[in-house]
Amino acid sequence: MSMQESFSRNLAEVRGRIADAAVKSGRSAEDVTLVAVTKYVDAAVTAQLVAAGAKVLGENRPQVLEEKANAMSDLDVQWHMIGNLQRNKVKKTLQFASMVHSLDRESLIDAVSRHAAEDGKVVDCLIEVNVSGEESKHGFAPDQVGAAIEKVSRLSSIRLCGLMCMAGLAGDADDARREFALLRDLRDKHAADAPENVQLKQLSMGMSGDFEAAIEEGATIVRVGSLLFRDVL
Ligand SMILES: *Cc1c(COP(=O)(O)O)cnc(C)c1O
């Protein structure tokens, strides 16, 4: 099997499982966006995944995002920044990313807003929430999310689309599911009294090991990496 055929098979499997989990939660496959996380591979391999049908790609390092987006500028793909973002990398990132999942602190919100305004752009963003409370995890504490939403709502260069989280490393599958449910509950709570220009439609949660649970708890975006590369690398 060629690499591209292996990627097609893996993509089909993951999409099938996404569809099943969506149906289980009373939705359809189209309600869930697959972000193919390509941080494990170089631009040439990433291009094979795109040839196999991946449309939205996620990277967690600005430098790599830039290199790959440049290398693949002729392909019809969107890039999402899903990882921790330093302020001095914001300008570059905004050149290539159609969505930033990881607004995890006030100073970053300010930097994204400022650079987007300078470039005359409005950037789609998610607020990252530390749902597990683990110190190694980035994101606003659940009780700070309201203030973060309020802050972003006053910035016209950021279009807030929803919330993002990663399940804790220490927990098991039940803990992950509880954390996904917590993110959904936070969204529901804040959506009810959000300023008019704020949409909290998107919930970016779930990775290779837990994306079905995340979808059952309301994920609209899943970020899947390792599963797509199984038996390929
Ligand atoms: C690496 C990564 C993923 C994908 O994880 P897999 O377990 O490989 O599917 C998702 N989200 C973020 C933020 C990541 O850094």
Architecture of domain 3-229: Alpha-Beta Barrel (3.20)
**Average pLDDT by stretches of 10, the chain with 233 residues:** 95 98 97 98 97 98 97 96 97 98 98 98 98 95 97 97 96 96 98 90 98 98 98 89
| Ligand 1 pocket test target in 37, 39, 228 with most atoms within 8 Å of CB | 37
* Beta carbon of 144 within 6 Å of any ligand 1 atom: no
pTM metric for this prediction: 0.97
* Beta carbon of 224 within 6 Å of any ligand 1 atom: yes
CA of 207 to the centre of ligand 1 (A): 6
What pLDDT, on the 0 to 100 scale, is given for residue 179? Answer: 98
What pLDDT, on the 0 to 100 scale, is given for residue 160? Answer: 97
Closest ligand 1 atom to 209 CA: 7
The encoded tokens of residue 197 equal: 């220009």
- Taking phi over 0 as left and psi of -120 to 50 as alpha, with beta for the rest, 133 belongs to left
| Residue of minimum CA distance from atom 6 in ligand 1 | 225
* Beta carbon of 102 within 6 Å of any ligand 1 atom: no
**Domain edges within the chain:** 3-229
* Beta carbon of 80 within 6 Å of any ligand 1 atom: no
Residues 6+ apart with CB under 8 A from 160: 125, 126, 127, 149, 152, 153, 198, 199, 200
